[in-house]
Amino acid sequence: MKHFISRWLVLTIAAGIMVALLPGMRAIGDPPILGIGAFALFLALINASIKPIVHIIALPLSVLSFGLIALIINWLFMRLASWLALSMFDVGVAIDGFVWSVLGSLIMTIVSGIVGAVLED
């Protein structure tokens, strides 16, 4: 449980930076960190539960498409996390399209790697 909470914290920081940098991402909620935290919670739950299974199943297609399937899967999971947060709690992160989601995924990967490395030290 401690690992999940620390992962959620790292994803919340990464999502906050993503929303601050990308104009195609908007935090919905008052205060906005509440929406970012709800989005990060659902993203952490998806990453911990179904993402590894889906990536293993899609591995042959991902190899054939040079990784484009992985981008589509990340886009779908970000949209799912956004939809779950907005529909369940009326707060979250609104994503304007596929390109913003891909850029957001890249930013979140880089920032969460850096923040995760700093917090583990």
Residue 88 burial (CB count, 10 A): 11
Q: How far apart are CA 91 and CA 39, in angstroms?
A: 8
Residues 24-73 pLDDT 10s:
999 999 999 999 999 999 999 999 999 999 989 999 998 999 888 888 89
> What whole-number distance in Å separates Cα of residue 3 and Cα of residue 7?
6
In the predicted model, is pLDDT for residue 120 greater than 80? Answer: no
Identify which has the larger pLDDT, 109 or 12: 12
**Number of compact structural domains in the chain:** 1
- Prediction pTM value: 0.89
Residue 82's domain comprises: 2-120
The two three-digit tokens of residue 51, written as one number? 């993402």
Question: Could you read off the pLDDT of 15-37 as tens digits, one per residue?
Answer: 999 999 999 999 999 999 999 99
Task: Give the list of residues 6+ apart from residue 72 with CB closer than 8 angstroms, or none.
Answer: none
pLDDT band at 121 (very low <50, low <70, confident <90, very high): low
